[in-house]
Amino acid sequence: MITMTSLEAQNQFGNLIDSSQREPVVITRRGRPVSVMSSYQDYRSMPYLVAKFINENYPLRGKEAGDAMRDLLSTFGNKAAEDGLTEDDVMQIVHDNRI
């Protein structure tokens, strides 16, 4: 995965866009990752619902957390099916986007 500082991203925005079409680009500020830029196609296929779920439901514990995760996975599976993705397609997307 490519990494750029926030200053590089500002000064080389065209390069940032081009690079993000090939693979996600991590943008850092003061040496820490603060953002990721990816292609629109990657964005559409990423399991962004998982990140949203974790952000909104982190405090959940026990049965409540398990129920929320099952609901999320069901929603994600339904969305993938609507987009014409098979389970193998989803697994390949997850594998390809591992850091």
CATH number at residue 32: 3.40.1620.10
Give the least confident one: 15-24, 34-43, 85-94: 85-94
- Please tell me which residue, 21 or 68, carries the higher pLDDT value: 21
Task: Tell me which residue range forms the domain holding 25.
Answer: 2-41
Give the span between the Cα atoms of 42 and 60, in whole angstroms.
29
The structural domain count of the chain equals 2
Asked whether 12 and 4 are in contact (CB, 8 A), the reply is yes
Average pLDDT of the chain? Answer: 81
**Same domain, residue pair 61 and 92:** yes
Whether the predicted pLDDT of 49 surpasses 60: no
The band of 7, judged by pLDDT with boundaries at 50, 70 and 90, is very high
**Same domain, residue pair 77 and 56:** yes
pTM to 2 decimal places? 0.49
Q: Is the four-CA dihedral 42, 47, 50, 53 of positive or negative sign?
A: positive
**Same domain, residue pair 73 and 32:** no
**Same domain, residue pair 37 and 55:** no
pLDDT the model gives residue 16: 95
**Same domain, residue pair 23 and 61:** no
**Same domain, residue pair 59 and 89:** yes
pLDDT the model gives residue 50: 64
**Same domain, residue pair 37 and 73:** no
**Same domain, residue pair 31 and 61:** no
- Residues 15-35 have a mean pLDDT of 92
Whether the predicted pLDDT of 94 surpasses 80: no
